[in-house]
Structure 1
């Protein structure tokens, strides 16, 4: 056998597990294969074990790092929250906020916090991390950007930037937050609202946010008076396209039985259905806002501010004069005019109409007639001059007596620049305009008497109606068949110590009366969209109850009741659309508030 053949034979024997004599030895070969297999499996398991161990250790480290990261973020936010709470607490001690001195107040608070930062006092509560030493966060920076000046240069918004840093087991995180402090009257943030009860009877259509300081009551029944008789009209529920700010979820109530209200079902599975039925909103659109945080308006203190601004004197002097007058706005205007020499305007006395003497009358009669003609001419000249003066005002003035703008004798009241200038009307204002052209008013006004507006008027004004009501139902402001449009895209902000009446004599039309403006009353208020159609572009707020009654469809006056056709194409007969531009438009005349708003921005990670 050749050498090549011998090697082939050995290979065959190996492949067949036999020796050179052809005897098989499978057991011995199998034992060797098992050992190799076991070693291979052990190797695989060892590699897998090491991989799992490595992943476990890495995961634990990542988990610990993530926990430290989360804890550091929470600590940094806690430090920011504590600082905001401190700022708020300091400002809450102040009442009847004076915007002029607020800048100094915020600067002082900022300096106090900066001093604490410099001495490492301004820190949050320490957090003892599990298995580690104490971790700590602290405020590292506070930057006061100062007041932001609006178009009228009145200081209205104050911005702070807070920076906090936290260190948890070596994981450092830094958060930045913007804090805005403003003196905006809060009632201007809502389309409809009341510091007491907001009562929505029937189907008003509200585009904007609403606020109820006590209860938010809804009903699908509108109530109204027609021909001296009280009536009700079943219609749809109110529809809100915005958020509802209430004291609690139980404050939202539905009328189940006449004049009996029950909290709506706020069960987790039924809340959206209940809110959708009575307001057309979801639970996400309901916000809880404690009325203690509501920023109230102080009309009397604002009145003093504006008088002091009008005559450029210290408000403390005006406050003393106001107290001496028995807090009588009319008397204060008279006293201010005398003491400070502010320009005064007065209607000239109209003489008797001249009567032409008969032919051949004595010369004395002709002398009297000529004198009467001269007096009438002088009167007309004075009225013409006054008309020009009212149309070209350039300084604060006191107008003594009642003023009527009828579109003919007087057709405008205009300041080219109204910031810091006030028209003090020591009497009542009447706008009675049925001319084709509108009456234009561009002025900030303090009015001691009543306000009555009829017909069309274009306004860019902030108006304070200071006459105290004689009783709870006394209307000191009446808008009757009034169409109020904004002048040059602006609007009117009207605040009245007495009630405000929005009324239409020529009712039952499907063409809405449009009123652009914000209205505030210290009394209760009732608004109707049943026989009348009102579209309010702005908002309405009452310190007392605010009640809105509205139906959907056409309305026709019947013999004894109003006939409503809900199937017509006419929607709600009362619609209010919130206008957020009022802050920029009227900030120079906005009222003094009881306390400031502190608003925090979003957290930013650095």
Structure 2
């Protein structure tokens, strides 16, 4: 009995110990669970409050960008001054100190409150001391609250417009605009022969290449050459190719016009390929990248109001073709006109002035300018010819008809061309023909008609800072560049940009051209070889006609292209320096996040 009683006592004791132990463990586990739940709630609140603060940033930046975009679209573009005023007023509206915060509370996860804490200026990329008034660096503050957790997110974001259009960001770019229907070959880039491009490509359509250059020399001629060359910009491994459709190689001779007018490329004449090594020479071929198409209109005709004068000093003579020579009116706005009654007031002098108002555009003869001339602003109703002229238009030249630059000579001998130096922004209502000119330019041209550049040499005007001037052309009509620096070893050095709302065609077979800037159009056709061209036989030459000799295929492998397009990193700055005082802003750039911290 005593032993049994003792065992029962031990069992009871053990049971009590186990119960106590499990009770302690249970309480501990319950405490841990409760603590874990509490920590999970805190952690969830922290995550939700941070997420809410980010939503506040996203919403306020989207709302500001939407307001800017809507205002631009309602007005079909804003002048630089008006956009700057809009940007400043919109930003000021959402400052924390103005009580313009954006808040949201859904009652479930929490709330946010976002506003602008600080606004700082931005500066031009290549001029760190020059403010870019079209953009602001904004510090946004967003408070996200969930439960007992509050997170404050500070984010620095750049908002505003670029000082130059998207078009100027590529060495070569083609564009599709289907608002007026798809034209023949629209969006396509044709690279025939040894064209050399340094920089990136944007091709909304197809890219087609061939190892033959094309020229019309007493008939259509496909001249043996190399495939085009793609050179990456400094600091890049490969050039980038934004390609909208497909890539092809032309494999046989074909009719030139029918070839470049195509929208589809089928049959044995074309070989479709995705390997860029089949389309370009050298090891560094372009790398295809994906990007949504960006339409960045230039708004050429919107610029007219900045050039056309409706009042000013009248420059008049009594002859039908008014000569303008050696006139210095650097602070005046001049409107030359033909009027019979000025014969009495001229009295042997070249000019007389009458103050009148002009509210309509009427034909008023044509005008010829030579010698050294300086004007603040100059506006003609009729056409204008520039021959043997050094002319500067500080605030701009408006030509109500066609603009002829050069003496129209059609020889290859540059000694027979007119020496012309031209400086300033220009708007031309008609066509532009640069022919028979040794042109030195620092010019921005807006053209409603077509542009032809032929039988000329084109170089930049030497500027006071030691740099070379530019030739930037924005044309609603087609641009054709041919027969320039023909058979010369040294190319025309053009620093600038050529843009057409239609077609752009450039020849570098007999011609020799180096464009430092870029080109853009609905359709681009580039024809070139590498090496020498001459009207006389030389060692290693290929004979086409009795006076047309070109570098043979072997020699081309070690020589430079006769058509080089080199993207200019400073082209946007150059455009900004040349543009008229009130460019039109059409597009707001997406917000650019620079820094973010909790």
Q: CA deviation at 1:252?
A: 4.6
Structure 2 partner of 1:246: 242
The answer as to whether partners of 1:531 and 1:557 remain within 8 angstroms in 2 is no
The answer as to whether partners of 1:141 and 1:162 remain within 8 angstroms in 2 is yes
More helix by share: 1
Structure 1 partner of 2:511: 532
Q: CA deviation at 1:462?
A: 1.8
* Gap change, CA 1:217 and 1:600, over 3 Å in 2: farther
1:158-202 CA deviation, whole Å, 9 max, x = no partner? 425250424364343321212132352333333222222233333
1:3-59 CA deviation, whole Å, 9 max, x = no partner? xxxxxxxxxxxxxxxxxxxxxxxxxxxxxxxxxxxxxxxxxxxxxxxxxx9xx9899
Question: 1:459 pairs with 441, 461, 473, which one?
Answer: 441
3-state SS, counterpart of residue 297 of structure 1:
coil
1:437-457 CA deviation, whole Å, 9 max, x = no partner? 953222322334532243422
Question: 1:391 pairs with 368, 373, 397, which one?
Answer: 373
3-state SS, counterpart of residue 444 of structure 1:
strand
Structure 2 partner of 1:302: 303
In structure 2, C-alpha distance between the alignment counterparts of 1:73 and 1:93, rounded to whole Å: 32
3-state SS, counterpart of residue 579 of structure 2:
helix
Structure 2 partner of 1:564: 552
Structure 2 partner of 1:440: 421
Question: 2:199 pairs with 205, 208, 212, which one?
Answer: 208
* Gap change, CA 1:380 and 1:272, over 3 Å in 2: closer
Q: Does 1:577 align with 2:566?
A: yes
Structure 2 partner of 1:413: 391
The answer as to whether partners of 2:136 and 2:159 remain within 8 angstroms in 1 is yes
The answer as to whether partners of 1:97 and 1:596 remain within 8 angstroms in 2 is no
* Gap change, CA 1:431 and 1:79, over 3 Å in 2: same
1:533-579 CA deviation, whole Å, 9 max, x = no partner? 2111222222x211112333445461448553344531222211223
3-state SS, counterpart of residue 429 of structure 1:
strand
Q: CA deviation at 1:93?
A: 4.1
In structure 1, C-alpha distance between the alignment counterparts of 2:227 and 2:297, rounded to whole Å: 33
Q: Does 1:495 align with 2:474?
A: yes
Q: CA deviation at 1:296?
A: 0.6
Matches within 5 A, 1:342-491: 343-345=334-336, 390-398=372-380, 401-406=383-388, 411-415=389-393, 418=394, 420-424=395-399, 426-432=401-407, 434=415, 439-447=420-428, 448-466=430-448, 468=449, 476-488=451-463, 489=467, 490-491=469-470
Task: Give the TM-score of the pair, scaled to structure 1.
Answer: 0.62
3-state SS, counterpart of residue 302 of structure 1:
helix
In our comparison, the structure showing a higher alpha carbon Rg is 1
In structure 2, C-alpha distance between the alignment counterparts of 1:564 and 1:145, rounded to whole Å: 59
Structure 2 partner of 1:227: 218
* Gap change, CA 1:64 and 1:240, over 3 Å in 2: farther
Structure 2 partner of 1:548: 526
The answer as to whether partners of 2:333 and 2:375 remain within 8 angstroms in 1 is no
3-state SS, counterpart of residue 375 of structure 2:
coil
The answer as to whether partners of 1:481 and 1:504 remain within 8 angstroms in 2 is yes
Question: 2:174 pairs with 166, 170, 194, which one?
Answer: 194
In structure 1, C-alpha distance between the alignment counterparts of 2:276 and 2:483, rounded to whole Å: 37
Q: CA deviation at 1:413?
A: 0.3
* Gap change, CA 1:393 and 1:275, over 3 Å in 2: same
Structure 2 partner of 1:280: 284
In structure 1, C-alpha distance between the alignment counterparts of 2:243 and 2:65, rounded to whole Å: 21
Task: Give the TM-score of the pair, scaled to structure 2.
Answer: 0.63
Matches within 5 A, 1:65-214: 71=51, 74-75=54-55, 77-79=57-59, 81-83=61-63, 85-87=65-67, 89-90=69-70, 91-110=72-91, 113=94, 118=99, 120=101, 122-123=102-103, 134-141=109-116, 157-159=134-136, 161-167=138-144, 169-182=149-162, 184-195=164-175, 196-214=187-205
* Gap change, CA 1:71 and 1:154, over 3 Å in 2: closer
In structure 2, C-alpha distance between the alignment counterparts of 1:125 and 1:254, rounded to whole Å: 56
1:370-398 CA deviation, whole Å, 9 max, x = no partner? xxxxxxx969999xxx9898523244343
1:285-335 CA deviation, whole Å, 9 max, x = no partner? 7241323xx211222221233226x859xxxxxxxxxxxxxxxxxxxxxxx
* Gap change, CA 1:67 and 1:273, over 3 Å in 2: farther
In structure 1, C-alpha distance between the alignment counterparts of 2:512 and 2:431, rounded to whole Å: 28
Structure 2 partner of 1:515: 494
* Gap change, CA 1:272 and 1:174, over 3 Å in 2: farther
When the two chains are superposed, the root-mean-square deviation of aligned CA atoms in Å is 4.9
The answer as to whether partners of 2:335 and 2:379 remain within 8 angstroms in 1 is yes
* Gap change, CA 1:434 and 1:464, over 3 Å in 2: farther
In structure 1, C-alpha distance between the alignment counterparts of 2:421 and 2:156, rounded to whole Å: 48
The answer as to whether partners of 1:237 and 1:278 remain within 8 angstroms in 2 is no
The answer as to whether partners of 2:143 and 2:150 remain within 8 angstroms in 1 is no
In structure 2, C-alpha distance between the alignment counterparts of 1:431 and 1:348, rounded to whole Å: 27
Q: CA deviation at 1:346?
A: 6.6
Runs of 5+ unmatched residues, structure 1: 1-52, 266-270, 313-340, 350-376, 470-475
3-state SS, counterpart of residue 421 of structure 2:
strand
Runs of 5+ unmatched residues, structure 2: 1-31, 176-186, 234-238, 253-264, 313-331, 341-346, 353-367, 408-413, 534-540
In structure 1, C-alpha distance between the alignment counterparts of 2:283 and 2:134, rounded to whole Å: 34
More strand by share: 2
In structure 1, C-alpha distance between the alignment counterparts of 2:593 and 2:306, rounded to whole Å: 34
* Gap change, CA 1:499 and 1:570, over 3 Å in 2: same
Q: CA deviation at 1:141?
A: 1.0
* Gap change, CA 1:434 and 1:463, over 3 Å in 2: farther
The answer as to whether partners of 2:229 and 2:280 remain within 8 angstroms in 1 is no
Q: CA deviation at 1:481?
A: 3.0
* Gap change, CA 1:487 and 1:98, over 3 Å in 2: same
Q: CA deviation at 1:69?
A: 8.6
In structure 2, C-alpha distance between the alignment counterparts of 1:276 and 1:81, rounded to whole Å: 43
